[in-house]
Structure 1
Amino acid sequence: MIAHLRGRLLSKAPNRVIIEAGGVGYEVSIPVSTFYEMGDLDGEVSLHVYSYVREETFSLFGFRTAREKSLFEKLLSVSGVGPKLAITLLSGLELPDLVSAIRKGDVARLVCIPGVGRKTAERLIVELREKLATFALEEPERERTPAIAPGSVADDVLSALVNLGYGRAAAESALREARVANPDEDFENWLRGSLRLLARKFFH
C-alpha cells in the first residue's frame, strides 16, 4: 500500500493532482484544503496518502497533513460514508470547523455541505462525536487569526467570496491569509487580498 508520496507536481485541480515519482505519474484525489496548499507546477510536493482498494478499484487520496488523513480515515468509519463523500466533507468545511460541527451536533452546519443530507449528518454526529473528543482543533496558523464572527467584516468578505463561486474552505484559507497580511478591518482590502490569493492558487 502507498502511504506517502513525494515527487514532481505535473498537474493540479481543486479535486486532484498528478505527481510524478520514479518515472510514474500518480493521480491522487485531494480535498480543496490540500489543493490550496499545493505549490507551483513542476515543484516538489509530498502527500500523506490513503490507498483505497475495492474489488477492481484502486484509488489514491492525498493530504498535506497527517491530521487531515487521520480525519479522513475516521470519516470512512461512518456507515454510508465512502472516500468521495469523505473528500467532499473535508472540502466543504475547514478541518477545525468540521470537527467542531460534529462535536457540537451541528446538523444545520453539516447539511450545508453539498451531498450531505440530514441522515448522513446525524450519523456523522452519532458515530464520531466521541471519537473526535480529543482530536486537536487548532492549527498553529489558525491561532494567529481571530475566528470569523457572524455579521463581522470578515463574515461579509467570506460571504462575498462564496457568492463568487469559491468553495468555503478555500475562501476561509485565503481570507485568513489576507487578514494576517492586513490586520485592520477593511472589507475592500480583505476582499482584494483574498481574491488575489485565490487567483494565484486556482489559475496559476
Structure 2
Amino acid sequence: MIGYIKGKVIYSDAGTVLLENGGIGYEILCSGALFAKLVTDKQGEAYTYMQVREDGISLFGFVSTEEKNMFLKLITVSGVGPKMGIGILSAMNINDIAVAIATSNVKMLSSVKGLGKKTAERIILELREKVTAGELKSSEGGKIPAQAVEKMSDKEEDAIVGLMSLGYTRAESAKAVKGAVEKGAESLEDIIMTALKSM
C-alpha cells in the first residue's frame, strides 16, 4: 500500500494533482487542505490512501495523518465511500467535521454536496464515540468553538449552511451570522447578505 508520497507537483486541477517521484507520476484526488497547499512545479508531499478495485487503482491524498485518520473513520460508515469521504474533507476541515459529529449537527454535515440527511445522521450515530479531543481542537485554544454549540435558530442554521456552500468554514459562517443578527438582520436573505459584507 502507498501511504505517503513526496515529490514534484507536475500539475493540479479540479482537486486532483500529479505528483512525480522517481520518474513515476502519481495522480492523487486531494482533500481541500492538501490541494490548497500543493503548488505546480514545487516540491510537495501527501499522506495517501490507496483504493484497489477491479476497474483500477485510486489514490486519495491528505495534508496530515490527522486528516487521513478522519477520512478512514468516515469511510467505515455505510454509504460513505472514498470519493464521498474526500468530498467531505474538501468541503469541511477536520475540526468542523468533528464539531458537527460531537454536536449532532445534521444540517451542517448535509450541507456537503451529495451528502443526504440520512447519511449525515448515520455518520453522527456511528462516529460520535470515535471523535477524539485532538480533532475537536480549534484555533481558539483547543475547545469546541462557542458558536458551534450555541443554540441557533433554524433561520440562523440555514444562513450558516448557505455560507458554507459558498466555501466558508463553519466557524467563519457562524461568527458572521451571529454578527448579522446582532446588527438587526431578520429575514434569511438579510442575514446572509449582512454576513457576507463582513467576510
TM-score clears 0.5: yes
Tell me whether 13-22 or 118-127 shows the greater mean CA deviation: 13-22
Question: 1: CA distance between counterparts of 2:82 and 2:12?
Answer: 19
Q: Could you list the per-position Cα deviations for residues 112-142 of structure 1 after superposition, in whole angstroms to 9, with x for gaps in the alignment? A: 1111111101110111111114443225xx2
Instruction: Judge conservation of contact 1:11–1:41 (CA < 8 Å) in 2.
Output: yes
Matched, 1:20 2:20: yes
Q: Unpaired runs of 5+ in structure 1?
A: 151-158, 173-186, 192-204
Instruction: Judge conservation of contact 1:27–1:60 (CA < 8 Å) in 2.
Output: yes
The structure 1 segments of at least 4 consecutive aligned residues displaced by more than 6 Å after TM superposition are none
Q: Could you list the per-position Cα deviations for residues 138-171 of structure 1 after superposition, in whole angstroms to 9, with x for gaps in the alignment? A: 25xx247x96959xxxxxxxx8xx59x85235x9
- CA 126–64 in structure 1, closer or farther in 2 if over 3 Å, else same: same
Corresponding residue for 1:122? Answer: 121
Q: Could you list the per-position Cα deviations for residues 27-75 of structure 1 after superposition, in whole angstroms to 9, with x for gaps in the alignment? A: 000111221222x321110110111112232100011111000000000
Identity fraction in percent = 37
- CA 103–88 in structure 1, closer or farther in 2 if over 3 Å, else same: same
> What one-letter code is carried by the residue in structure 2 that aligns with 1:107?
V
Corresponding residue for 2:112? Answer: 113
> What one-letter code is carried by the residue in structure 2 that aligns with 1:97?
D
Corresponding residue for 1:102? Answer: 101
Describe the SS at the equivalent of 1:136.
helix
Question: 1: CA distance between counterparts of 2:45 and 2:126?
Answer: 31
Alignment of 1:55-70 (within 5 A): 55-70=54-69
Question: 1: CA distance between counterparts of 2:136 and 2:4?
Answer: 23
Corresponding residue for 2:181? Answer: none
- CA 20–9 in structure 1, closer or farther in 2 if over 3 Å, else same: same
Q: Over alpha carbons, which structure has the higher Rg? A: 2
Alignment of 1:100-179 (within 5 A): 100-138=99-137, 142-143=139-140, 166-169=166-169
> What one-letter code is carried by the residue in structure 1 that aligns with 2:90?
S
Q: Could you list the per-position Cα deviations for residues 154-201 of structure 1 after superposition, in whole angstroms to 9, with x for gaps in the alignment? A: xxxxx8xx59x85235x96xxxxxxxxxxxxxx98x85xxxxxxxxxx
Question: 2: CA distance between counterparts of 1:124 and 1:135?
Answer: 19
Question: 2: CA distance between counterparts of 1:148 and 1:127?
Answer: 24
Number of residue equivalences: 166
